[in-house]
Amino acid sequence: MPDRRRSRRALVNLLIALAAVTPLVAASVVTWRAGVTYTGVGDVVSVDAAALELTINHDDIPGLMPAMTMVFPVRDSSVITTAEPGTRVRFELFKKGNTLRITRVTALGAATGGRPGFHDHTPHHGGVVLMWGMLHFEVAASREGWVRVYVSDVWRRPLPPQGWSGSVMLDLPEGARTLVLQPGDGALVGGGPPLLLPTVLAHVRVAQSGEPIEMHVLLPLSSDSTGAALSALPRCVAPPLPAPDTGRLPRCAVAFGLPVTVVSTTPDAATAVVAVVSVGITAWRVADGELLHGFAPAPPTQVSPEHPPHGEAANAIAMSPDGREMVAALDRRLLRYAVSSGRLLRELSSAGGMVRHVAWSPDGAALLVSRYGDTAAHLVRADDGGDVRRLPIEDQPAGVAFSADGRVAAVGSEGGPIFLFDPTTDAPPRVLREPQTPTDVLSFVDAHLVAAGGDGVARMWSAATGALVTQFRVAGPSLALAAAPPLLAVAGRDRVLRLYDLRSGALVETLGFHRAGIYSLRWAGATLVSGDNEGLLALWDLSDRLATPLTP
């Protein structure tokens, strides 16, 4: 027996020795009873010394995971002494069960930059990335007072800063500070006094030839803050007072200049999360419309070199029941974020077509997902995206929602009918046949399910029995709805918001402010948040209209 133990130890030592000379892209190198060690190579995106975490944009790790940007915990503080943003590293990754931990990091040199065939908006220098035409700009700031703008091509391959010029104005508590940007070591560089803030708002103006490019960026200055890219000034501004015949105006509005695709709000009504094409996802305080932070970009994804990267936006967002996390769908992908910081927690496993809608179960354990081109909705685990149950319907799935007690999972369809499943069993669904046009937006209100769609009719059913409780005409086909008893807010194709009494169907008020299609509506307490296809986000104070909730 001692000889067998010595032989096993000799084998382990031999494998460890071989690992030192394997190629940089080597996969599993050592296996023993406690777990498996892998070796990976990638570019350090950020270092969180307090949380003992590294964010690495890594190459394929064969046998473990494809190339992506991921946050890894590290064993202890000594592991990250050689890890700096913008550094290419080799790292050893220990896996035990579902736990991954970096145990060693070796610096290899400067980050390699982009790879043809990969769509990558992740920061390579600890900053914030914006795409302008076929160019990427990464703006980064340091506590020492330096601001750098890195220019790269469509594949994120670095371009020389020579020939570029510009300036950056920083919004600081003591007033605006302007820095001149000049070509430096791989970037446009400007410097000034130290910046002793967690974030700083920067207004960047750069030019090489032709019209200058203007960018507005919330820059992180510490490892626990997340920046934000903005297409316009981040201000929620009160509109001019309405004329006597124009009625109510929103409390304030933000003009992004690019389409708002999704709006979501936290259960405590404190935060609105907004997705905008080519800008990304940002968080805003509902009370005063102040920008809080951005959300980390999606990890790089492989695309066809014949179809270069383009602007993207979330097509669905689901908030966790406690409001601490959210899942954002970008095309086919599901990304799980921390709401308070904007940090990417992980990318969930997913398969199938483009995600259409997502809902988070009240117990926090599952997600209900519909995808274009599918014949079923899918119940998946919220922690990793693994399949729990397939919910087949008669058509392509559309809107999805959970009842407050989690006992009913509602799935709308492209043809109109709504299917009510018990998510804990394989029992066939109850079918609500009344809708005859696509049912994209569903909402549970107390013990009722509410829907409105292209047929210009709002309907409310009992969630328990499926019986139709009431229905009433709304002003034409509906693009979005949001319920806050006793009000139902409906966005029509005529770019007008209307408030209806859910109990009687009576029109309560008409809100005419938006100039484009309103595809996103959410309540945050007594505030209605609306977003349109021209990039206008509006916050409406409707506390005077909200009264007692519906009764079952």
Residue 138: pLDDT band by 50, 70, 90 thresholds? Answer: very high
Do 2-108 and 118-225 share a fold? no
Work out the angle at residue 399's Cα, subtended by the Cα atoms of residues 439 and 386, and round it to the nearest 5 degrees: 155
**Model pLDDT for residues 401-418, shown as the tens digit of each residue:** 999 999 999 999 999 999
Element (H, E) at 18: helix 2-19
Contact 294/227 with Cβ under 8 angstroms? Answer: yes
Report CA dihedral (362, 367, 370, 375) to the nearest 10 degrees.
-100
Is residue 312 exposed (0-12), middle (13-18) or buried (19+ Cβ within 10 Å)?
A: buried
User: E strands within 16-67?
Assistant: 28-32, 35-48, 53-58
Residue whose token pair is 């409780």:
469
pLDDT in tens, 485-541: 999 999 988 999 999 999 899 999 999 999 999 999 999 999 999 999 999 999 999
Task: Please state, in angstroms and rounded to a whole number, the distance separating the CA atoms of residues 527 and 536.
Answer: 16
Collapsed DSSP state (helix, strand, coil) of residue 268: coil
- What the block records as the tokens of 408 is 């009913």
| Residue 355 in this model has a pLDDT that exceeds 70 | yes
Q: How much of the chain exceeds pLDDT 70, in percent? A: 89
Question: Sheet of 316-319: strands edge to edge?
Answer: 316-319, 325-330, 333-338, 344-348
Closest CA to 488 of 498, 496, 479: 498
Kindly state the average pLDDT of the residues 87-108.
86
Amino acid at 70: M
- Better-scored residue on pLDDT, 319 or 454: 319
| Pairing assessment for the beta strands 280-285 and 188-191 based on DSSP bridges | unpaired
Rg (CA), the chain: 26
421 pLDDT higher than 60:
yes
Summarize pLDDT for 195-215 with one digit per residue, the tens. 999 999 999 999 998 789 999
Distance (Å, whole) CA 493 – CA 516: 9
Residues constituting the chain = 552
- Which DSSP symbol is given to 79? G
The neighbouring-strand residues paired with 371 are: 355
Between the two ends of the chain, the Cα-to-Cα distance in Å is 72
**Hey, which residues does 488 pair with through a beta bridge?**
483, 500
Q: What is the pLDDT of residues 291-315, one digit of tens each?
A: 999 999 988 877 665 555 555 789 9
DSSP string, 130-190: EEETTEEEEEEE-TTSEEEEEEE-TT--B---TT-EEEEEEEETTEEEEEEEEE-SSSEEE
SS3 call for 5 = helix
Q: Which two tokens stand for residue 543?
A: 């506390």
- pTM here is 0.78
Question: Could you tell me the residue ranges of all domains in the chain?
Answer: 2-108, 118-225
pLDDT tier at 242, thresholds 50, 70, 90: low
Nearest CA to 240 among 221, 253, 226, 257? Answer: 253
State the Cα–Cα distance between residues 355 and 102, nearest whole angstrom: 32
10 Å Cβ neighbour count for 409? 24
C-alpha distances out from residue 299 to 171, 283, 343, Å: 29, 19, 12
The fold of the 2-108 domain, in CATH, is OB fold (Dihydrolipoamide Acetyltransferase, E2P) (2.40.50)
Given this model, what pLDDT does residue 13 score? 42
Which residues does 457 contact at the CB level (< 8 Å), separation at least 6? 434, 435, 471, 472, 473, 474
Task: Dig out the tokens for 272 from the structure.
Answer: 């609105």
Average pLDDT, stretch 36-57? 85
For the chain, give the mean pLDDT. 86
As a CATH number, domain 118-225 is 2.60.40
Whether 369 has a pLDDT exceeding 70, the answer reads yes
* CB atoms closer than 10 angstroms to residue 117: 16
SS3 content of the chain, % helix, strand, coil (to 5): 5, 50, 45
pLDDT at residue number 34: 55
Please name the residue that has the structure tokens 């086919």.
Answer: 332
- Measure the CA–CA gap between 226 and 55, rounded to whole angstroms: 13
pLDDT of residue 149: 97
Task: Please list, in sequence order, all residues whose beta carbon lies within 8 angstroms of the beta carbon of residue 38, skipping any fewer than 6 positions away.
Answer: 26, 27, 28, 29, 61, 63, 64, 92, 93, 95
Rounded Cα distance, 548 and 552, in Å: 13
- Return the closest-CA partner of residue 218 out of 210, 208, 228, 230: 228
Output the CA angle 401-406-407, nearest 5 degrees: 105
Cα distance between residue 353 and residue 374, in whole Å = 7
User: Alpha-carbon distance 111 to 397, whole Å?
Assistant: 43
Phi and psi torsions of 319, nearest 5°: -95, 140
Predicted confidence band of residue 184 (pLDDT cuts 50, 70, 90): very high
Phi, psi of 327 (to 5 degrees): -115, 125
More confident of the two residues 69 and 474: 474
